[in-house]
């Protein structure tokens, strides 16, 4: 628990910092400044202690201030703080790639480092195109995403994503040749625990799009196995299996964006293993470094890597793509420390064991009159709040009321995202749910 004696003033000026994905005007009138984090608690500038019910932005599942990670980073910085990742390397990035490949499903054993989730998705898109060029299928450069998908904020990721508010200002500059399947949330899924029984036929949208665009022109279909940032939409039973079959029929690559679900959120290392469907490419970020240092990762099937390698003459750069901060030592050292904690603390099984308790706790909020829907899987939950006046107003108000009640959650429109840290105990789940209840009740009593 964070000490309550630690207090600090808000900064002298809030004017200069243009905050991302925030209501800057609202924040600057009533700032919410976090001054310290320890374990699964955060302390605010005005002395409140919050339980971190969303693991930050899903990215601190091992809790804050982990000594092993801090030590690993310190050691790394003292020995080798940076080395350019192009045409030279250092041992850690290879060691980490081996560790990651041991956890990925199937033969997704070739590992490309990026700097965040968005760049992981952009990289996956480019690798898909490069792969098809390498095998002579130069016509394959179209992509299929899904409504309500979130894949990040650069142009490629934004285009395959399916949240209208994110792209409406930028329509003129989106990638051409991208179609979207319908999302998988049906009215009968409102209070379903885990995977819904109905809705697998929505995967046939991919077949319809393949007819429209020509299956032979589509490079890849990208989905989050569980749609995270739209408010946690759980895939209907057999839906992902159907997508896999349709991709195979047309030779389309299947990309799972596991930036949220990767590294244990579902109770398995990846949702791919949890749902028994092996994609061709997986993107990951968030939990990879426990959120402490930016890092994204793309895992690809061996045949994709081999084809791209084989298509290039000896000595040539095979893929003209990479980032200054691709797999830099400080990120890699954090990620290796995280991998060791996953093993030592049997983290994925821990998530699995806590999932039912979390499910029951979350669904206990059903009696609150403004709760329209509750969804969950593993340690991931979504709660829809009835709209007030205009979309997003109620969700934002509940977020603020929850913050005041002592729990940090992530709002997205009128949905709340709950993603407890994996190191939670049952009493912490109780604390998150109780404080959410207080926050939601206070919302109900406010204008
Ligand atoms: C599924 C998914 N993909 C990609 C991203 C983009 O990640 P980043 O914000 O690190 O660029 C996110 C971010 O929330 C995400 O949820």
Statement: residue 34 has pLDDT above 50: yes
Calpha distance 152→163 (Å, rounded): 11
Statement: residue 6 has pLDDT above 60: no
pLDDT at 447: 74
> Average pLDDT over the chain, rounded to whole?
96
Statement: residue 370 has pLDDT above 80: yes
Confidence band for 4, pLDDT divided at 50, 70 and 90: very low
Residues with CB under 6 A from ligand 1: 116-118, 121, 150-152, 224, 228-229, 257, 259-260, 285
Taking the centre of ligand 1 as the mean of its atom positions, its distance from the CA of residue 46, in whole angstroms, is: 30
Statement: residue 3 has pLDDT above 60: no
Percent of the chain with pLDDT strictly greater than 70? 98
Statement: residue 1 has pLDDT above 60: no
Helices (H), 201-255: 204-213, 239-250
Pick from 20, 19, 85: nearest CA to 321: 85
Among 124, 148, 229, say which to mutate for ligand 1: greatest number of ligand atoms within 8 Å of CB: 229
Atom of ligand 1 nearest to the CA of 283: 3
pLDDT at 366: 98
- Report pLDDT digits (tens) over 338-348: 999 999 999 99
Calpha distance 327→330 (Å, rounded): 8
Pick from 423, 346, 410, 149: nearest CA to 259: 149
Confidence band for 8, pLDDT divided at 50, 70 and 90: low
3-state secondary structure of 377: strand
Supply φ then ψ for residue 66, to 5 degrees: -65, 120
pLDDT at 250: 98
Q: Is 232 left (phi over 0), alpha (psi -120 to 50) or beta?
A: left
Q: Are 244 and 212 in contact (CB under 8 A)?
A: no
Q: What is the DSSP letter of 385?
A: E
Q: How many CB atoms lie within 10 A of CB 312?
A: 12
Taking the centre of ligand 1 as the mean of its atom positions, its distance from the CA of residue 146, in whole angstroms, is: 15
- Report pLDDT digits (tens) over 47-67: 999 999 999 999 999 999 999
Instruction: Compute the CA torsion angle 149, 150, 155, 156 (nearest 10 deg).
Output: -60
């Amino acid at each position: 628990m964070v000490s309550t004696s630690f207090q600090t003033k808000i900064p002298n000026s809030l004017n200069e910092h243009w905050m991302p994905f925030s209501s800057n005007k609202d924040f600057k009138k009533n700032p919410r400044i976090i001054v310290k984090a320890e374990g699964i608690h955060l302390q605010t500038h005005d002395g409140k202690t919050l339980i971190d019910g969303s693991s930050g932005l899903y990215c601190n599942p091992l809790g804050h201030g982990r000594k092993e990670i801090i030590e690993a980073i310190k050691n790394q910085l003292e020995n080798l703080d940076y080395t350019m990742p192009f045409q030279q390397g250092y041992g850690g990035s290879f060691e980490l790639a081996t560790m990651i490949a041991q956890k990925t499903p199937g033969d997704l054993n070739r590992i490309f480092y990026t700097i965040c989730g968005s760049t992981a998705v952009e990289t996956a898109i480019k690798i898909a195109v490069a792969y098809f060029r390498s095998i002579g299928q130069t016509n394959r450069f179209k992509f299929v995403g899904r409504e309500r998908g979130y894949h990040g904020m650069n142009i490629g990721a934004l285009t395959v994503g399916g949240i209208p508010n994110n792209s409406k200002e930028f329509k003129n500059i989106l990638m051409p040749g991208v179609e979207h399947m319908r999302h998988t949330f049906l009215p009968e899924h409102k209070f379903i625990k885990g995977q819904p029984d109905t809705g697998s036929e929505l995967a046939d949208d991919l077949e319809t799009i393949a007819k429209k665009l020509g299956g032979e022109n589509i490079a890849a279909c990208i989905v989050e196995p569980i749609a995270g940032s739209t408010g946690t939409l759980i895939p209907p039973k057999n839906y992902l299996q159907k997508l896999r079959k349709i991709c195979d029929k047309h030779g389309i690559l299947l990309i799972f964006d596991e930036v949220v679900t990767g590294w244990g959120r579902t109770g398995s290392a990846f949702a791919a293993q949890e749902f028994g469907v092996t994609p061709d490419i997986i993107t990951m970020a968030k939990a990879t470094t426990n959120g402490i240092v930016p890092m994204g990762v793309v895992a690809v099937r061996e045949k994709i890597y081999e084809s791209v390698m084989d298509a290039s003459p000896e000595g040539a750069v095979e893929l003209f793509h990479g980032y200054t901060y691709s797999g830099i030592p400080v990120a890699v050292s954090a990620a290796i420390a995280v991998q060791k904690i996953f093993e030592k603390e049997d983290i994925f099984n821990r998530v699995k064991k806590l999932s039912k308790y979390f499910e029951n706790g979350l669904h206990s909020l059903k009696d609150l009159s403004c709760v329209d829907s509750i969804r969950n899987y593993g340690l991931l939950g979504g709660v829809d709040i009835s709209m007030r006046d205009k979309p997003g107003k109620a969700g934002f108000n509940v977020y603020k009321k929850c913050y005041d009640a002592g729990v940090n959650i992530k709002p997205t429109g009128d949905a709340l995202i709950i993603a407890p840290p994996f190191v939670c105990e049952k009493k912490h789940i109780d604390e998150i749910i109780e404080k959410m209840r207080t926050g939601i009740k206070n919302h109900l009593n406010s204008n």
